Every structure is written in C-alpha cells, then in structure tokens.
C-alpha cells in the first residue's frame, strides 16, 4: 500500500491517495461480514453466533454512540489533516509548524487524560456536553480568526481537537456496553466505520472547500449539531 498510495499521490494528488487508503479497509470489512454470514448459513450456526455487524448496528445502545463517534471523527480528521497546510500557508518555518502541531497533539492528550480521570466520576452525557462546549469555544475563535487573522483560526482548530477525549471516550465506553460475546465485534465495527468515514471526509472536504476559516467553522458546527442530536436521541 505505501507504494500504491505514493504513486497515486504523485499522479493525482494526496486527496485521492487518502481515498485509496480507505478503499481496502472498506473492502476487507465487507468481505469479513459476507464471509461470516455465508459460513454461518453453511454450518447452521445459532442466530446469536452469526448475528454479525448488521445485528450490532440495529442495537440502539451500540449504534447511537458509534454514530456520535463517526460523526465527530468526520470533523476531527479533516481539521487535524488541514492544520499543517494552514500553518504552511502562513509562511511559517518548519520549526514553528512542528511546534504548533506538537501543541495540538498535546491538547488532545491532555483532553484524554482529563477525560480518563473524570470517567469514574462523571456521566457520559456530562462529558459529551463538556466536549460540545469546548467545540463551541473553538468555533468562536475560528470566527474571530475570520476578522483578526489566521492565528486565531489555528487556535480555534487546536481547541476543537482538544474535545476529542470528551466525545470519543464516553462514546466508545457506551458502544462497548453490549453483551460480552459481542464486544470484540463491536470494537472492530466501530474502528472500521471510523476509519472509512474519517478518511472519506478528509478527501471530500479537501476537494470541495478551500478557505480554511470557513472549513473550521462549518465542520465544528456540524460536529456540535450531530453530537447534540445523538445526545437527544440516545
């Protein structure tokens, strides 16, 4: 895959290369589910053992949190990928770009650490609401950046990225709160959907929109709205 992706990136650009990375994940995921279903029918396995991913997606206590994770990843991934290009577009030095990216990763790590400490003490719904507030603050900073310059937009992106733990950790915990026999499949399916949807979102947003500030504001508003809907329907 590295050689294939490199060739595609050279010929058609990095966006198509990202789609090429997503395609095998999608095909393998579909093949595993089809193979499991066929094998179950052939050996007449009980419905519990051959329920597979389709049954998991029909289970509200799994599908609700997974949809929240997927929706957030479709915002988080494009912003994380776009951040280096935003910094490079401001004629920043290689050192300063690396420093800002390190700070962004540190913000995500700090958010995860805080969330891990709060999980035993605070409900999943409260943690998710905190993540929505953090994303709202990042959106406000991005709007300020539309008036006062790109540095504010960069800070807004970092703030939005720092909400990762507050959304993903409680959602993952809730998604794995299924029958013990289904937890491995639940973890695999949630990871599969996140990879496919976030990779596709990165490629598509890069093709459709070029203004960084508009991207940050639009994606953040989408994230807040979709997570809020998940909270209302969950």
Q: What is the DSSP string of 107-124?
A: HHHHHHHHHHHHTTTS-H
Answer for the pair 37, 170: CB distance below 8 angstroms, yes or no. Answer: no
| Residue ranges covered by each domain of the chain | 1-50, 61-233
Model pLDDT for residues 175-186, shown as the tens digit of each residue? 888 777 778 888
User: Quick one: fold of 61-233?
Assistant: Growth Hormone; Chain: A; (1.20.1250)
Q: At what angle do helices 60-89 and 150-161 cross, to 10 degrees?
A: 150
112-138 residues labelled b (16+ CB within 10 A) or e (exposed): bebbeebeeeeebeebbbbbbebbbbb
Model pLDDT for residues 131-175, shown as the tens digit of each residue? 888 988 888 888 888 778 788 888 888 998 999 999 888 888 888
Residue 156 burial (CB count, 10 A)? 26
| Segments in the chain forming alpha helices (H) | 2-12, 14-43, 52-57, 60-89, 94-118, 124-148, 150-161, 164-175, 183-208, 212-233
pTM: 0.71
Model pLDDT for residues 78-119, shown as the tens digit of each residue? 888 888 878 877 766 778 888 888 899 999 999 999 998 998
Q: How confident is the model at residue 46 (pLDDT cuts 50, 70, 90)?
A: very low
DSSP state of 87: H
Model pLDDT for residues 128-142, shown as the tens digit of each residue? 889 888 988 888 888
Q: What is the pLDDT of residue 149?
A: 77
Residue 85 burial (CB count, 10 A)? 12
- The residue whose two tokens read 């053992």 is 49
Model pLDDT for residues 187-211, shown as the tens digit of each residue? 888 888 888 888 778 777 766 555 5
Answer for the pair 201, 78: CB distance below 8 angstroms, yes or no. Answer: yes
Report the alpha-carbon angle 192-195-196, nearest 5: 85
Q: How far apart are CA 80 and CA 104, in angstroms?
A: 9
Report the alpha-carbon angle 199-26-184, nearest 5: 100
């Amino acid at each position: 895959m590295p050689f294939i992706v490199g060739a595609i990136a050279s010929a058609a650009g990095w966006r198509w290369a990202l789609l090429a990375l997503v395609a095998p994940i999608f095909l393998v995921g579909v093949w595993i589910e089809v193979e499991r279903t066929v094998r179950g029918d052939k050996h007449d396995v009980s419905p519990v053992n051959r329920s597979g991913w389709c049954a998991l997606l029909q289970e509200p206590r799994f599908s609700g949190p997974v949809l929240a994770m997927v929706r957030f990843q479709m915002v988080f991934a494009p912003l994380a990928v776009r951040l280096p290009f935003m910094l490079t577009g401001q004629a920043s030095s290689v050192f300063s770009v690396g420093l800002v990216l390190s700070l962004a990763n540190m913000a995500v790590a700090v958010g995860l650490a805080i969330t891990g400490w709060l999980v035993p003490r605070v409900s999943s719904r409260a943690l998710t609401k905190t993540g929505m507030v953090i994303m709202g603050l990042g959106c406000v900073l991005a709007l300020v950046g539309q008036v006062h310059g790109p540095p504010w937009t960069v800070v807004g992106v970092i703030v939005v990225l720092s909400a990762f733990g507050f959304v993903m950790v409680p959602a993952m915990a809730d998604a794995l709160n299924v029958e013990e026999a289904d937890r491995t499949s639940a973890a695999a399916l949630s990871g599969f959907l996140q990879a496919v949807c976030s990779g596709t979102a990165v490629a598509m947003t890069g093709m459709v929109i070029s203004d960084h500030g508009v991207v940050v504001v639009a994606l953040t508003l989408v994230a807040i709205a979709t997570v809020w809907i998940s909270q209302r329907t969950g």
